[in-house]
Amino acid sequence: MAYAYDDQNIFAKILRGEIPNTTVLETDHTLAFRDIHPQAPDHILVIPKGRYVSHDHFALEATEAEVLDFMRVTGRICAELGVQPGLGGQGFRIISNAGVHGVQEVPHYHLHILAGRPLGRMLAPA
């Protein structure tokens, strides 16, 4: 069974240049930009340029070049923010919401990188 991808999702529109964004970093395969409703002083979304719905889709079907590029971009953003805990930074959190239980709003794969304040425990009690 093939993954269904909605070309009208908001991140597809951003990738086509139909909606503006505040770009942090762009490579051949990946775009990183600031979240429109930041939940921390630094709240950056990292998306592949390819048509992937969620983490599982990207992890299973993206090319090695896409996966490597995507991962390197996350590292470069952490470096640019100066938040790497192994280098004296204050740390960060990476989240990827998927599907209904994951409460994914935009059906184009993305990671949230959150940093700039203490972020509390990972999950609030249900």
Q: Are strands 92-95 and 42-48 parallel, antiparallel or unpaired?
A: unpaired
**Distance in angstroms (rounded) separating the CA atoms of residues 13 and 51:** 12
Contact with ligand 5GP (CB under 6 A) among 37, 118, 121, 122: 37
Q: In the annotation, is 110 catalytic?
A: yes
- Of 31-39, 59-67, 78-86, 116-124: span binding ligand 5GP (CB under 6 A): 31-39
For residue 84, state whether it binds ligand 5GP (rule: CB under 6 A).
no
Residue 40 to residues 56, 66, 76, 84, Cα–Cα distance (Å): 26, 27, 19, 16
Binding mask 47-66 for ligand 5GP (x = CB under 6 A): --------------------
For residue 109, state whether it binds ligand 5GP (rule: CB under 6 A).
no
DSSP H helical ranges for 42-111: 55-61, 64-81
Q: Which is nearer to ligand 5GP, 29 or 110 (CB)?
A: 110
Q: Which is nearer to ligand 5GP, 84 or 106 (CB)?
A: 106
Kindly provide the residue ranges of all beta strands, DSSP E only, lying in 1-126, ordered along the sequence: 23-26, 30-34, 42-48, 92-95, 111-115
Q: Which is nearer to ligand 5GP, 84 or 104 (CB)?
A: 104
